């Protein structure tokens, strides 16, 4: 198998590791993989991803966070090359959902012994994401995080925590009209809305985890009463597996979500990367559009069904 490797040295856990490329190459070689490392390019990461795709590799292995992985997916979806993931970000949500180890050496070994599977890709106005797309106060927090990326001091951590507490009341609710699968629009006032590429699980310890990456649906989550205490309750509810019963969010499933607003533009955070988009925001799922290398499942493993499934297109009210 011909493998091209692209490392984003600016990703969360790669920052401060000057020899990260050599470290990755060593792990891949130890795992028995013959890989070509794509060198730095004056036009940046996206040019390196294009270079990797143009080489006709059977797989493109990307080391980075969820935003980097989404950028690679935008170039690989619908094509013959598979995407391999080395988790070098802060959250690494997709890697966790795929069962990829967080240790680099173990992740490289999992790639060498892995199997290719298809997962869904989501997009909003043509911008690809693999985990979630958020508008409202959380997207402002993502912008704040990007501003201080690479400065992991106690001072910046305290500043971020204070910003998170302030966001609950400093940001006015958004006036939105949301429609599912071409249906009638429902008017909403909310400070936070998220569209996930497949729905989140509910179970003890399953914080932001997904039981399926190939269900071919979007999960819509609208905050009922967004604020600092809401964040605390939601995080605890997800950790304890009780968040659906706590009724902290409106949850629906659909294949297409359309959002209208009187605003001229909305700041959207796709997999941790902020972008300014004009309305309407049109979210679509692309089932099975991406081939990924994932660890082989244990023989007894069976995909868990989504608990309390909501029919696509169900009303928000």
The domain that contains 156 carries what CATH number? Answer: 2.60.200.40
Regarding whether 150 and 281 lie in a shared domain, the answer is yes
**Cβ within 8 Å of residue 34, ≥6 positions away:** 1, 2, 3
Provide the phi-psi class of 99: left if phi over 0, else alpha when psi is between -120 and 50, else beta. Answer: left
What is the C-alpha R_g of the chain?
Answer: 20
In the 8-state DSSP scheme, what is residue 98? H
Q: Are 206 and 241 in contact (CB under 8 A)?
A: yes
- Note down the domain range covering 59: 3-113
* Bridge partner residues of 188 (DSSP): 176
Residue ending a domain, choose from 82, 113, 144: 113
pTM of the model: 0.84
Query: pLDDT-based confidence at 313, cuts 50/70/90?
Result: very low
Instruction: Examine residue 295 and state whether it is found in any structural domain, yes or no.
Output: no
Regarding whether 145 and 65 lie in a shared domain, the answer is no
Regarding whether 132 and 108 lie in a shared domain, the answer is no
Task: Indicate the range of 74-83, 113-122, 139-148 predicted with least confidence.
Answer: 139-148
Instruction: Examine residue 279 and state whether it is found in any structural domain, yes or no.
Output: yes
Instruction: Examine residue 302 and state whether it is found in any structural domain, yes or no.
Output: no
> Quick one: average pLDDT of 5-33?
80
Q: What is the largest CA-CA distance in the chain?
A: 56
Regarding whether 87 and 139 lie in a shared domain, the answer is no
Regarding whether 249 and 133 lie in a shared domain, the answer is yes
Q: Which of 115, 139, 120 is nearest to 130 (CA)?
A: 120
User: pLDDT at position 116, please?
Assistant: 97
Question: What is the percent of the chain with per-residue pLDDT over 70, rounded to a whole number?
Answer: 79
Instruction: Examine residue 214 and state whether it is found in any structural domain, yes or no.
Output: yes
User: Which own/partner contact pairs does 146-155 have at CB distance under 8 Å and 24+ positions apart?
Assistant: 146/273, 146/274, 149/10, 149/12, 149/15, 150/10, 150/15, 150/16, 152/15
Q: Is the pLDDT of residue 151 over 90?
A: no
Instruction: Examine residue 309 and state whether it is found in any structural domain, yes or no.
Output: no
What pLDDT, in 10s, does the model give residues 243-302?
Answer: 777 777 889 999 999 999 999 999 999 999 999 999 999 999 999 999 999 998 776 544
Q: State the chain's mean pLDDT as an integer.
A: 84
**Cβ within 8 Å of residue 162, ≥6 positions away:** none
CA angle 305, 309, 315 (to 5 degrees): 160
CATH for 9? 3.40.50.10330
Helix (H, G, I), strand (E, B) or coil at 264: coil
Regarding whether 240 and 105 lie in a shared domain, the answer is no
What pLDDT, in 10s, does the model give residues 94-140?
Answer: 999 999 999 999 999 999 999 999 999 999 999 999 999 999 876 65
> Quick one: average pLDDT of 190-213?
89
What pLDDT, in 10s, does the model give residues 168-181?
Answer: 556 678 999 999 99
Task: Indicate the range of 25-34, 37-46, 49-58, 182-191 predicted with least confidence.
Answer: 37-46
Regarding whether 210 and 169 lie in a shared domain, the answer is yes
Regarding whether 169 and 97 lie in a shared domain, the answer is no
Regarding whether 168 and 105 lie in a shared domain, the answer is no
Cα separation, 209 vs 246, whole angstroms: 18
> Quick one: average pLDDT of 18-42?
88
> Quick one: average pLDDT of 156-173?
56
Residue ending a domain, choose from 113, 146, 164: 113
Q: Are 110 and 84 in contact (CB under 8 A)?
A: no
Query: pLDDT-based confidence at 152, cuts 50/70/90?
Result: very low
Instruction: Examine residue 145 and state whether it is found in any structural domain, yes or no.
Output: yes
Regarding whether 7 and 99 lie in a shared domain, the answer is yes
Instruction: Examine residue 191 and state whether it is found in any structural domain, yes or no.
Output: yes
Cα separation, 160 vs 154, whole angstroms: 10
**Cβ within 8 Å of residue 225, ≥6 positions away:** 248
Q: Phi and psi of 232, rounded to 5°?
A: -60, -50
Query: pLDDT-based confidence at 207, cuts 50/70/90?
Result: confident
Burial of 115 (0-12, 13-18, 19+ CB in 10 A): exposed
Regarding whether 74 and 169 lie in a shared domain, the answer is no
Cα separation, 20 vs 24, whole angstroms: 6
Regarding whether 214 and 91 lie in a shared domain, the answer is no
Residue ending a domain, choose from 80, 113, 146: 113
**Cβ within 8 Å of residue 35, ≥6 positions away:** 3, 4, 5, 25, 28, 29, 61
User: Which is more confident, 138 or 22?
Assistant: 22
How many domains would you assign to the chain?
Answer: 2
> Quick one: average pLDDT of 56-82?
95
The DSSP line for 136-152 is EHHHHHHHHHHHTTT--
Query: pLDDT-based confidence at 146, cuts 50/70/90?
Result: low
**How far are the Cα atoms of 60, 66, 134, 181, 250 from residue 185, in angstroms, in the given order?**
40, 31, 19, 10, 15
């Amino acid at each position: 198998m011909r493998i091209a490797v692209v490392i984003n040295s600016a990703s969360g856990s790669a920052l401060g590791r000057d020899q990260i490329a050599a470290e990755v190459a060593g792990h891949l070689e130890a795992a028995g993989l013959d890989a070509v490392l794509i060198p730095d390019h004056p036009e940046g990461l996206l040019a390196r991803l294009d270079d990797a795709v143009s080489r006709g590799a059977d797989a493109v292995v990307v080391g980075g966070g969820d935003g980097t992985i989404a950028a690679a997916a935008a170039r690989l979806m619908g094509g013959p090359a598979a995407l391999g993931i080395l988790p070098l970000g802060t959250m690494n949500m997709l890697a966790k959902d795929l069962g990829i180890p967080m240790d680099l050496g173990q992740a490289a070994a999992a790639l060498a012994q892995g199997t290719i599977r298809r997962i869904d890709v989501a997009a909003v106005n043509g911008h690809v994401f693999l985990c979630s797309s958020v508008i409202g106060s959380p997207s402002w927090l993502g912008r704040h995080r990007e501003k201080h990326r690479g400065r992991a001091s106690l001072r910046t951590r305290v500043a971020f925590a204070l910003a998170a507490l302030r966001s609950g009341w400093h940001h006015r609710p958004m006036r939105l009209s949301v429609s599912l699968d071409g249906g009638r629009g429902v008017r909403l006032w909310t400070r936070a809305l998220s569209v996930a590429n497949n729905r989140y699980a509910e179970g003890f310890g399953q914080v932001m985890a997904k039981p399926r990456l190939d269900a071919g649906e979007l999960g819509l989550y609208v905050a009922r009463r967004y604020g600092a205490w809401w964040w605390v309750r939601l995080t605890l509810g997800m950790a304890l597996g009780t968040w659906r019963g706590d009724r902290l969010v409106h949850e629906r499933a659909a294949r297409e979500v359309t959002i209208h607003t009187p605003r001229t533009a909305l700041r959207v955070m796709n997999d941790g990367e902020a972008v300014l988009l004009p309305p309407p925001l049109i979210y679509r799922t692309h089932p099975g559009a991406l081939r990924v290398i994932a660890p082989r499942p244990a023989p007894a493993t069976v995909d868990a069904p989504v608990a309390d499934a909501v029919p696509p297109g169900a009303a928000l009210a």
